[in-house]
Amino acid sequence: MRKALAWLWFLLLALFLFFGAALFASATPEELAFALGLFGFLLLANPLLFGYAGLLSFLAEVQAGTARPERVAEATRTPLALLENLAGVALAAFWMRELAPYRYAYYGLFLLLLLVALAPQLAGGLVFTGVLTGVLWGAAVPTVLVFGLELVAWARIAALAQTA
């Protein structure tokens, strides 16, 4: 059974590599630029995606009444003595404060990419305009995810503040 499973994984990996190489070989520059923008901005968005996901799970714990300030102290590198007597909304504010530099840097880089991608289109369609547009659309996917998680986090904090 173990040997059959190993062969199955090997065949799956071989098929993945074959089709991945075929897709890479037949991709246009715009498609490769899209993949580059997608994976590059996913790496940039990683702290925000996991930070907002952790914050949302913490807010669910606050609503359930099982929240621990130690979790916020670990995520924000804030002394536990400062956080022990705070309400859940205040703890969430500490968490959001920790994510703010990442958020501003991420949105700033996306805005810079947007301006760099729009400038050649305004200049009359240069040769590399399609590639820059591909990078922009690839970067837009994780940006929408980050923006959506941020909006959900703010909505959950606002709902929690109204019930408190």
Q: What is the pLDDT of residue 85?
A: 80
What pLDDT score was predicted for residue 112?
96
Maximum separation of any 2 CA atoms in the chain, in Å: 62
Confidence at residue 46, expressed as pLDDT on a 0 to 100 scale = 96
Between CA 103 and CA 90 the distance in angstroms is 19
**Contact between residue 51 and residue 145 where contact means Cβ atoms under 8 Å apart:** no
Please give the pLDDT value at position 56: 94
The domains of the chain are located at 29-163
Query: Could you list the pLDDT tens digit for every one of the 164 residues in the chain?
Result: 888 888 899 999 999 898 888 887 888 889 999 999 999 999 999 999 999 999 999 999 988 888 888 888 888 888 888 878 888 888 888 899 999 999 999 999 999 999 999 988 888 767 888 899 999 999 999 999 999 999 999 999 999 888 86
Question: Residue 152: its pLDDT value, please?
Answer: 96
